[in-house]
Amino acid sequence: MKGDYQELVDEISALLGAPATLENRDFGLIAFGAHDSDDDSAMDPVRTRSILTRRSTPAVRAWFEGFGITRATGPVRIPAAPDAGVFRDRICLPVRHRGVVLGYVWLLDAEPGPSHERLTAAMEVAARIGELLADEERAGADLSRELRAVLTAERGWQYDMAVTALRTALGPDADGLHALVCLAPWPAEDTPSPRTVPGAAALCTLPWQGPAGPYATAPARGTTPGGPAHGAEPASGTAARGARPAAGGPGSGRTTTPGHAPAADGPAPGAGYSPGPGPQRALAVLVRLRSGDNLSPVTTAAGRLRGTAGPTAVVGIAAPRRGLGELDLCWREASAAARTAHAQPRFGPLAHWSELGAYRLLTALPPAEPDPAVRALLGPSHTELARTAEVFLDHAGQAGRTAAALGIHRQTLYYRLSRVEQLTGLDLDAGEDRLLLHMALKAARL
């Protein structure tokens, strides 16, 4: 990039027959042309100081700005001012892009000075410099405030204004194809620079509620933690009423060995990435794409960021979209995919919303208390029973595959399933009861 600036500055120097100096709008030196004169008196202290210290003094800056260079759209001639340290007349070519001043090209002025035609040609070169400065500014801006405003605003005029601000900041890139990424948990409030993340157009941090772990719901008030096996009355339901045999009875095709003790109801192993319960932070990353079929920019950016976030972090990826109008929907998809990856490690560490299956529906539901039928099962004293029921339903109710997946005997499986029916009052031979239980268990993981 610096080489590009130098070539353009040299082009202006050749056009106008005078050494040119390029500074940004804060008067920081970017590039300068060679001074070939053998006359030492022709050297100007302001130019020399700018080259040696890479910056102009406040007095020099105030003198130049007093001639309206921040508003000018064409060349500005500035007389010498020895009191301000300016010993030579100057020509200033404002460097603008889309009406915004981004820098200045400076030349020493002398009679008769460059012609109007040459100054016009030099301004065209200055416009090309403006395009380079704008591109670099967009690449270096973190745009975290603009992106956060879009992702947190409610639909309506505030959302529309936030999208407009982000679109303006991104420039032509705003209408391209993007994928929004949620990386959670993010260990700090600091937002990385887009320059350090390949393909990133903007990043920001947002609050994020980490999963508390599977089956972490406390028992309902009045529920005996141990359930029927610990002396409490069986929960109401078909198993308690005797309308049909409990799971494992003759009518179910399963047999329960009297007195066969189940395994202890302990925590389920391998529950997930365990990010920790409670409020945390997530990192939102807007990644530029060339094609919806090639998500390698997303995986590259995610891989670099996960190295910073740590082993508990997962990445949720929304469906790619063109433009910025549906970024709020993209964030819901990306954060839903991250939640799902924490709840079900088989989706992670990079989870695509399009591949979540039933979790697309579950993550779209508002937070709610567990269904009364399954509340007791989700208590901390029944995590093994809940896990058994979930694996059983994941395997379409096939006892052999379920027992093998859990590493237990079939009789142990049948006993546990009968306990699940007693606790919930649900009939595991009934399709709607199975659906209710399955969705409740999956939702509890989220």
Burial (Cβ within 10 Å: 0-12, 13-18, ≥19) of residue 356? buried
Whether 313 and 278 share a structural domain = yes
Q: Is 427 within a domain? A: yes
Q: Is 219 within a domain? A: no
Q: Is the pLDDT of residue 120 over 90?
A: yes
Whether 292 and 167 share a structural domain = yes
Q: Domain tally for the chain? A: 3
- The end-to-end CA distance of the chain, in Å, is 47
Q: Is the pLDDT of residue 246 over 90?
A: no
Each residue of 255-272: pLDDT tens digit?
Answer: 333 333 333 333 343 344
Q: Of the candidates 320, 343, 362, which is a domain's last residue?
A: 362
Whether 191 and 76 share a structural domain = no
Q: Is 117 within a domain? A: yes
Q: Is 7 within a domain? A: yes
Q: Is 217 within a domain? A: no
Q: Is the pLDDT of residue 346 over 60?
A: yes
Whether 183 and 324 share a structural domain = yes
Each residue of 79-106: pLDDT tens digit?
Answer: 887 776 677 888 999 999 988 889 999 9
Q: Is the pLDDT of residue 126 over 90?
A: yes
Q: Of the candidates 140, 167, 193, which is a domain's last residue?
A: 140
Domain that holds residue 179: 144-211+273-362
Whether 279 and 341 share a structural domain = yes
Q: Is 221 within a domain? A: no
Whether 331 and 183 share a structural domain = yes
Q: Is 162 within a domain? A: yes
Whether 291 and 356 share a structural domain = yes
Average pLDDT of the chain, as a whole number: 75
Q: Is 89 within a domain? A: yes
Whether 291 and 197 share a structural domain = yes
Q: Of the candidates 106, 125, 140, which is a domain's last residue?
A: 140
With bands split at pLDDT 50, 70 and 90, how would you rate the model's confidence at 10? very high
Across 151-155, 344-348, 357-361, the highest mean pLDDT is recorded for 151-155
Q: How far is CA 286 from CA 70, 316, 331, in A?
A: 33, 12, 10
Whether 255 and 277 share a structural domain = no
Give the pLDDT confidence score for residue 434 in this predicted structure: 76
Answer whether 24's CB lies under 8 Å from 130's CB.
no
Q: Is the pLDDT of residue 22 over 60?
A: yes
CA-to-CA distance for 212 and 136, rounded, in angstroms? 43
**Confidence (pTM):** 0.52
Residues 6+ apart with CB under 8 A from 445: 211, 214, 215, 271, 272, 343, 344
Task: State CA 31 to chain mean position distance.
Answer: 36
Each residue of 364-395: pLDDT tens digit?
Answer: 676 666 777 777 887 778 888 888 887 887 78
Whether 183 and 128 share a structural domain = no
With bands split at pLDDT 50, 70 and 90, how would you rate the model's confidence at 175? confident
Each residue of 187-234: pLDDT tens digit?
Answer: 876 666 666 677 788 889 898 876 655 555 443 333 333 333 333 333
Give the pLDDT confidence score for residue 254 in this predicted structure: 39
Give the pLDDT confidence score for residue 345 in this predicted structure: 78
What is the arrangement of strands in the sheet containing 90-97, beginning at the earlier edge strand?
A: 29-32, 20-24, 100-108, 90-97, 76-78
Among the listed residues 336, 335, 332, the one whose alpha carbon sits nearest the alpha carbon of residue 442:
336
With bands split at pLDDT 50, 70 and 90, how would you rate the model's confidence at 15? very high
With bands split at pLDDT 50, 70 and 90, how would you rate the model's confidence at 322? very high
Give the pLDDT confidence score for residue 265 in this predicted structure: 34
DSSP E strands in 109-173: the ranges are none
Give the pLDDT confidence score for residue 45 in this predicted structure: 55
- What SS3 state is found at 373? helix
What CATH code is carried by the domain that includes residue 103? 3.30.450.40
Whether 255 and 355 share a structural domain = no
Give the pLDDT confidence score for residue 149 in this predicted structure: 92
CA-to-CA distance for 125 and 203, rounded, in angstroms? 33
Each residue of 287-300: pLDDT tens digit?
Answer: 988 877 788 888 88
**Percent of all residues in the chain with a pLDDT value above 70, rounded to a whole number:** 73
Answer whether 327's CB lies under 8 Å from 150's CB.
yes
172: left (phi over 0), alpha (psi -120 to 50) or beta: alpha
Give the pLDDT confidence score for residue 318 in this predicted structure: 92
Give the pLDDT confidence score for residue 193 in this predicted structure: 66
Whether 280 and 151 share a structural domain = yes
DSSP 8-state assignment for residue 288: E
